[in-house]
Amino acid sequence: MNRTKDSSTSLRIAIQKSGRLTDKTVDLLHGIGIDFDNYKRNLMVKTRNFDVELLLLRDDDIPEYVQDGVCDLGFVGANVTRETQADVTVLRGLNYGNCRLSLAAPKSADIRTADDFDGKKVATSYPNLTRDFFGNKGIDVQIVEISGAVEIAPQLEVADAIVDLVSTGGTLRANGLIELETIMESETELIRTNHELSPGKKELIERFMVRMDGHLQAGKSRYMMLNAPKGSVDEIKSIIPSMKSPTIVPLAEDEMVAIHTVVPFNELWLIMEKLKEAGASDIVILPIESMIL
């Protein structure tokens, strides 16, 4: 494929072609102003307004492509990066695609702790992580590697238990399994190649990260506007965990001010309750599209 600019300055980013991370990764890229389409019909997509080319891959292949320098960056689950043991640098955890890799066994089995697994067969799509988990505990298991439908392995008597990804636990329950222990927590992460990059690519990555960090921070924050008596300003400032200092604007009504600030979303309701007690009124909360810190 012909590239519109020198490959020494164009970024190539790997994302999942199809799966549980795809839509949210695409939404994130669109959210930071990177314009593209037809990603469902192509394996390689050139963006229109940022010097980035997207390579759409199987998630298991992404760490290797980034490790080998075929791609400069990649969006992939932490579980995949750890399983492949790829030599890459993790730039950010992205707090979506959250799940956990867990050890599970049939409800009817006499297996309830990791120590009960000595000499047992464990089916998994994550042999390296499973081997490390039991090896660190000094427990000898036989690993049965399965590429899909791991949860039915005990029913088929292929294995005594499984190690698999769990989100809600519904699939385990539907197959008569109980979750015994979490091996690792996982989320989508942005990884970078350890190959030496050109100055042009380094600059593009810096610009990309500014956009992404601003978008991610905005998702965790809300813009707050409120009215308050002038005499309550000091107390209200002590309540608001602002980035720096809130904006305070005099109102036409004597002894009243408007206060504008940004607050963390996860503290929003507690902050609002305290502000009301301090005399705040007409509190308005707005979403934030992006932030440059």
What digits encode the pLDDT tens for the residues 24-42? 999 999 999 999 887 778 8
Mean predicted confidence (pLDDT) in 7-20: 86
Which residue in 48, 49, 76 sits closest to 62, CA to CA?
76
Range of the domain at 248: 221-287
pLDDT of residue 148: 83
Mean predicted confidence (pLDDT) in 166-174: 92
In a domain, 174, yes or no: yes
pLDDT of residue 10: 85
If asked whether residues 274 and 227 sit together in one domain, one would say: yes
Mean predicted confidence (pLDDT) in 146-172: 93
If asked whether residues 40 and 88 sit together in one domain, one would say: yes
Mean predicted confidence (pLDDT) in 115-127: 94
CATH code at position 112 = 3.40.190.10
In a domain, 3, yes or no: no
Query: Which of 196, 218, 240 is the C-terminal boundary of a domain?
Result: 218
Long-range pairs for 164-172: beta carbons < 8 A, 24 or more residues apart: 164/101, 164/102, 164/104, 164/124, 164/125, 164/126, 165/79, 165/99, 165/100, 165/101, 165/102, 166/99, 166/100, 166/101, 166/102, 166/104, 167/98, 167/99, 172/104
If asked whether residues 89 and 193 sit together in one domain, one would say: yes
If asked whether residues 104 and 177 sit together in one domain, one would say: yes
**pLDDT value at 238 more than 50:** yes
Provide the total of helices (H) and of strands (E) in the chain, helices listed first: 8, 15
If asked whether residues 85 and 126 sit together in one domain, one would say: no
pLDDT per position as a tens digit, 42-81: 888 989 889 999 999 999 999 999 999 999 999 999 999 9
pLDDT per position as a tens digit, 97-107: 999 999 999 99
**pLDDT value at 158 more than 50:** yes
CATH code at position 240 = 3.30.70.120
If asked whether residues 246 and 280 sit together in one domain, one would say: yes
In a domain, 6, yes or no: no
What average pLDDT is seen over the chain? 91
Count of structural domains within the chain: 3
- Stated as kind and residue range, the H or E segment containing 273 is helix 268-277
**pLDDT value at 2 more than 60:** no
If asked whether residues 33 and 83 sit together in one domain, one would say: yes
Per the structure block, which two tokens stand in for 216?
Answer: 């991610």
Mean predicted confidence (pLDDT) in 120-134: 96
DSSP state of 59: G
In a domain, 165, yes or no: yes
pLDDT of residue 293: 65
Residue 115 DSSP SS3 = helix
If asked whether residues 134 and 123 sit together in one domain, one would say: yes
